[in-house]
Amino acid sequence: MEKKFDVKEIWFNNADSEVILIGVLHKEYLQYETKVKVPMNRLNAIINFLQRNNEHFDLYDHLCTFHLGFVTEYNVVLPSELNRCFTQADLLGQEERALKQIRA
């Protein structure tokens, strides 16, 4: 069975080259909350996937902006009624690298 990642939040800023996805990773009967980093160039693909699979999804309805001096942080909290499950191929596209998980 392929791993699925249920994205709950998306964090990114104007000074970083990575996007942090917060959600629940599912594999067979195992599931756990985690954070995953993906390259910034995958952000548009993730947003397009959400719009394609959710007829009335508009990113700007869920986008919060925080101005922190020279850096602007963006946070997108995705409602639970959306189809927000991604496979590793959906997240990384043609790249073959494994996901980078943030662990304590």
pLDDT at 21 over 70: yes
Instruction: Check whether 28 has a pLDDT greater than 70.
Output: yes
Q: Residues 6 or more apart from 96 whose CB is under 8 A from it?
A: none
N-terminal to C-terminal alpha carbon distance within the chain: 26
- Separation of alpha carbons 41 and 3, rounded Å: 22
Q: Check whether 22 has a pLDDT greater than 80.
A: yes
Coil, strand, or helix at residue 47? helix
Going by the DSSP 8-state scheme, the letter that residue 59 receives in this structure is G
Residue 97 has pLDDT above 60, yes or no: no
pLDDT digits (tens, 9 = 90+) for 45-92: 899 999 999 988 888 899 999 999 899 999 999 999 999 998 888 777
What is the per-residue pLDDT for 3? 84
